[in-house]
Amino acid sequence: MSIINVVGAKIWGGGEQYVYDICKQLQQRHRTAYILVDQSNEDMQSRYAQVGHVMTANLYTLKGFLSVNAVAKQMKEQGIHTIVCHSGKYILFCIALKQLTGAKLVFIKHNLVPGKTDIYHRWINAQVDAFVCVSKLVYDDLMTPAIKDTSKYHVVYNGIDPNRFQSFSDAVPMKYKVRTFGYSARITERKGLYLILSALEQIHQNNPDVRLIISGAGTEDQIKKLKDYIHAHQMHSYVEFIGFTRDIEGLYRSIDCLLLPTITREAFGLVICEAMYCGVPVITSGSGAQREIIDDGESGFIVDPLNEHSLQQAMEHVMSDAVNLPNIITKARQVVEQRFIINRVADELVTIIDNLHSTDK
């Protein structure tokens, strides 16, 4: 059964990594995976070519509708029977593809968007054959009293691909001191980056050997704002911005603790799972589904969002001798291995898709 993933993003993020990892798993299961990306995004095309068949269209203009007939034609020629939509921005495009091809439509809900009960959204919900929510929080947000039949709504937690972290596959290096913090996410305020910088500035006054490594992609304006902040606050000696890196193993080896105090609500937290698998303790906020991943004080640390003082206290706490870091690291690794591995995600997704098509037989 062939599947096409519709990816309209311009910058690589957690959702795009999800598609990459799932397509890799589908290959291993001898399932044909196609990925539809914008014709101008060469970076997305080159990355996805490693794990599937790349199709291109003009997705950035009118949300792809200028290309809908051409894409539908290619789907029929390739025998593609399942459309997987990864963004609400492209759900109407995907519904049009479904109507033109007769394919089943699966909507992966990567974001927290409260369910709506107006006629328009009830119509959209009726067109989708299966909703897959990446956390229980996403599922709960989606549910409304208007939904009577919940059978097509599923919770399938996201997960990491351990093969991306082969140097950590057998065991994780234990940490006993935290001196170098890390940030790995998009360069944006909503991820709590400037809360980190402000807290770190205070900590550095009494701990001159503390450091921060910042990794992530962003727009030119976002990156300029970050560099200007570092310059204005004279933080060059202990804050390093390395941009987006594909050497994610190297990043996790170079830091002692990951910081992700997201301000807005998180639908999941893939980078949190990555760090936990690689033996890096995590401090995150309780702004969303992070609490479904981390047990505060047991497998990581959760602080209040928008609370710089709470973040600073947590950072100073992990730097102290009061924390049993090996115990935190061991428990965090166990949590990911038991619940958040991509093999399980792919198995559950394939089962959902197969069940959709079994009703046609």
pLDDT digits (tens, 9 = 90+) for 232-275: 999 999 999 999 998 999 999 999 999 999 999 999 999 999 99
Identify the pLDDT of residue 51.
96
Give the domain extent around 63. Answer: 2-159+341-358
Domain check: are 236 and 292 in the same one?
yes
The C-alpha atoms of residue 123 and residue 119 are separated, in whole angstroms, by: 6
Q: How many CB atoms lie within 10 A of CB 307?
A: 15
Task: Render the burial of 95-115: b for 16+ CB within 10 Å, e for the rest.
Answer: bbbbeebebbbbbbbbbbeeb
Q: pLDDT: is 212 or 111 the higher one?
A: 212
- Comparing 175 with 35, which gets the higher pLDDT? 35
Q: Provide the pLDDT for residue 360.
A: 67
Q: What is the pLDDT of residues 187-244, one digit of tens each?
A: 999 999 999 999 999 999 999 999 999 999 899 999 999 999 999 999 999 999 999 9
- The confidence band for 12, taking pLDDT boundaries of 50, 70 and 90, is confident
Co-location of 276 and 151 in the same domain: no
Residues 114 and 202 in one domain: no
For tokens 């609500």, what's the residue? Answer: 265
Q: How far is the C-alpha of 214 from the C-alpha of 247, rounded, in Å?
A: 13
Distance of alpha carbon 144 from alpha carbon 141, whole angstroms: 8
Q: Are 70 and 107 part of one and the same domain?
A: yes
Coil, helix or strand at residue 29: coil
Q: Are 288 and 171 part of one and the same domain? A: yes
Q: How many CA atoms lie within 13 A of 252 on its CB side?
A: 25
Q: Residue range 5-22: average pLDDT?
A: 91
Residues 136 and 207 in one domain: no
Q: Are residues 115 and 176 in the same domain?
A: no
Q: Are residues 219 and 306 in the same domain?
A: yes
Q: How many domains does the chain have?
A: 2
Predicted local distance difference test score (pLDDT) of residue 361: 56
284 and 176: one domain?
A: yes
pLDDT, residue 147, reads: 86
Are 226 and 330 contained in the same domain?
yes
Q: What average pLDDT does this structure show over 7-22?
A: 91
Strand positions, DSSP E, the chain: 2-6, 33-38, 53-57, 80-85, 104-109, 130-133, 153-155, 180-184, 211-215, 239-243, 257-260, 282-285, 301-303
Crossing angle of helices 220-232 and 193-206, in 10° steps, is 20
Sign of dihedral through CA atoms 77, 79, 82, 86? negative
Residues 24 and 62 in one domain: yes
Q: How far apart are the first and last CA of the chain?
A: 14
What's the pLDDT at 6? 98
Q: Are residues 142 and 244 in the same domain?
A: no
Give the other-Cβ count within 10 Å of 212's Cβ: 24
What percentage of the chain exceeds 70 in pLDDT? 99
Distance, CA of 2 to CA of 80 (rounded, Å): 5
Residue pointed to by tokens 């080896």: 253
The pTM of the full predicted model, rounded to 2 decimals, is 0.88
CATH number at residue 146: 3.40.50.2000
Q: Is 293 left (phi over 0), alpha (psi -120 to 50) or beta?
A: alpha
Tokens of 9: 């993003």
